[in-house]
Amino acid sequence: MQPKAFLNALDHERIVKAIAQAEACSRAEVRVHVSNQAVSDPHKAAAAQFEKLGMTATAERNGVLIYVAPRSQKFAIIGDSGIHQSCGQSFWQEVAAAMEADFRAGRFTDGIVKGLARTGEALGTYFPRKEGVCDLNELKDEVTED
């Protein structure tokens, strides 16, 4: 699928709400990025985009990026060192498997929202909000693209 067609098929408002919900129960930061580029290694491309988006600058190193490259029909979910140490690689594979089923069925928004919900559950477990402490939203809740 071409990136523009993919972007047009996404319900951005629903995804932004899902990002906010994923962050609401934790101190972590979540982003979604759609690449217009063809990529051979989505994890490597996601890691580069993670850096470009400034996601390594979160206070607790607990940012998560859902990276989608529709031209290549590939995607990756990566977490910064703080969340990755808590969840491990098997967690990211579990989230990817849940998203992939929806993607294969052409339900792109559903897949991303499902990935965000599952990620939010883990973030709430490992980085719960602290009572009486205001949580700063360190990164914008939006779907970015290149």
Query: What's the CATH fold of domain 3-128?
Result: Diaminopimelate Epimerase; Chain A, domain 1 (3.10.310)
Answer whether residue 138 shows pLDDT above 80.
no
Nearest to 123 by CA among 10, 14, 58, 28: 28
Tokens, residue 8: 């047009």
Confidence of residue 30 (pLDDT cuts 50, 70, 90): very high
Confidence of residue 122 (pLDDT cuts 50, 70, 90): confident
Answer whether residue 45 shows pLDDT above 70.
yes
Give the pLDDT score at 99. Answer: 94
Nearest to 44 by CA among 3, 76, 87: 76
Give the mean model confidence (pLDDT) for residues 47-65: 91
Give the pLDDT score at 28. Answer: 83
Between the alpha carbon of residue 19 and those of residues 29, 72, 82, 137, the distances in Å are 9, 24, 19, 11
Least confident window among 3-12, 49-58, 83-92: 3-12
Confidence of residue 136 (pLDDT cuts 50, 70, 90): low
Q: pTM for this structure?
A: 0.90
